[in-house]
Structure 1
Amino acid sequence: NAKIFEKISKGMKDRGYNRNPQQCRVKIKELREGYQKTKQENSRSGSEPQTCCFYDELHAILGGAPTTTPPLYVDSCKGGVSHNRDEDFGDEEDEEEEEDETILPDS
């Protein structure tokens, strides 16, 4: 797992943000917990629909069964959800191809 957060940190640095792997781990944990809490609240009958920051993007990533590979990944810098191509985060070679695969409009 440490290598994943190192890759995320590197990707953030490549985009002009200075975040270390520990900061990335904490932020991802906070986002995941917020999504799970919101999803649990929404599963209660009679409750008003809730949402959280990046709910749709997190649902695309985390909404499936825990043992399956998510079909989508999110690049929040580009503002969309893209098809999962099992590639490393921060690869520069395929950035032009990724732009063509975005399925949500830029915000």
Structure 2
Amino acid sequence: MNWIILIIGGLFETGFALCLGKAQESTGKESYFWWAGFIVSLFISMFLLYKAISFGANPIPVGTAYAVWTGIGAVGAVFMGIFIFNEPVNFWRMFFVFTLIASVVGLKVVSN
């Protein structure tokens, strides 16, 4: 269960990166909504990270949880950048994103 909580927390980390990018692009009232989304996503993401390392019969070690959480957020932010913010895509960028994914999966596999 803690791994599911951690994955959801990582997705909210991606959400706060998206809201931050959109807040920088927008102006006026729309900007305030994106900033509010950023704050809410940040809070939920951090809370779920805390919950994954603190609760249940098998809490995830903090080093592993933090690496997986940031990995999910980083990969999600890269893909959001590509699909939403029209950031460039090239072989090396995708190569390193997939090595990051492999590392996150590897941490899950070797953790109890």
Which TM-score band applies after superposition, normalised by the shorter structure?
Answer: 0.3 to 0.5
More helix by share: 2
Ranked by relative contact order (alpha carbons within 8 Å, sequence separation 6 or more), the top structure is 2
Q: TM-score, normalised by structure 1?
A: 0.40
Structure with greater proportional strand content: 1
